[in-house]
Structure 1
Amino acid sequence: MHSDKAIITCAITGVLTDPGQHPVPVTPEELAREARRACDAGASVVHLHFRRQEPGKGHLPSWDPQLARDCVQALRAACPGLIINQSTGVVGPDCQGPIDCLRATRPEMAACNAGSLNYLKVRSDGAWAWPPTLFDNPPAKVKEFIDAMAETGTLPEFECFDLGIVRCVQMYRQTGMYQGLPEYNFVFGVASGMPADPDLLPILLRLKIPQAPWQATL
């Protein structure tokens, strides 16, 4: 019998999910309540996005360090022992907001988006679901996050949206950008990234560094 345990991560806010359309949490109190529900259902890790607190803005990211601190303190009070995996995704070269939040909260884990992706989606009528966006993560930006996470004692989770990004992670290790075995997160289902196809998993496992831990996000 296989004895490995599955570790469940719950992303309680989604990605830019509008709380006006879906009941996702926004305030520290709401985040703590939903984290407690996730833990009670078997999750041991919560992937956390901070949201703006103004009315009608709860789908937008916030990089306010005090808000980040308030959210994390509320989650830790509600869920002792919870592992917090913090989002850091930001478009453009300015990483200061996410880095300030890392320093304010010092989470156990944080997303380290490992490569760039054309972030696209098309509606059924053929129109773009949002303006075509480049989610830019060049090596210099990745290194800035790696260094900040080393400072805060945070484990980088290398998010890989496509096969080539998986191969980039090995190069970060080869060049000394990152020491030790990286933690991979294979992100499936982004419309312009890897599809949620189980046939891809054996390929991804061959491409990652041997013995390196991994998880999948759907």
Structure 2
Amino acid sequence: MVAISVYDDPKTEVYVHTLGTNCWRRIQEFPYGVPIGDESGKFVGGALNWVVRENPKKLFVVSLDLENESYQEILQPDYGEVKLIGLTLGEYRDCLCIFAHSSKLIVDVWIMKEYGKKDSWNKLFTIPHIEDLGRPTVNFSPCITVAFIYEDEQVLLVSRDIFEPKLVVYDSRSDTFKISKFENIKGRDPTIYIESLITTC
């Protein structure tokens, strides 16, 4: 397990806990600023991966190799003329994904077919902007986040409308949206549950 404490400096303290032991060990802090938001690192390629902000305009993708406890920058795809307002990470078919949120309120979905190799980035599809998904939150944060990509390339989205958040399924093949009927999710971030034989107790 990995825990990160972020201070105002900005400064990070990173701790690693190995199952079967009774202690946390402190390791080197992040070399590229601080991780963004409250999202957990995405585990791909034997490493945890985060989006890290060094300054208001500079975003990195940083990985922590859990075997040798070392960091490296994961080079991002060439976004072309797209003006980014944010990045989030995901995992699809055991590959690292980048969700590139643009100023046009669309999301380009990129997949890294060979972990750690910049030239293996491939754009899967673009999620268009839909007015029904609501308004962006404060500080021009992306108005949607990608919670999960299914094997048939349908995408579970969470709108960030501060007044009426929604769960939405986008079908990339038919380019259609389906807004769920779940209610009372305001203030809650949906989490994907995967059954496991491993217990934390």
Give the TM-score taking structure 1 as reference length.
0.30
Q: Which has the higher helix share?
A: 1
Q: Which has the higher strand share?
A: 2
Give the TM-score taking structure 2 as reference length.
0.31
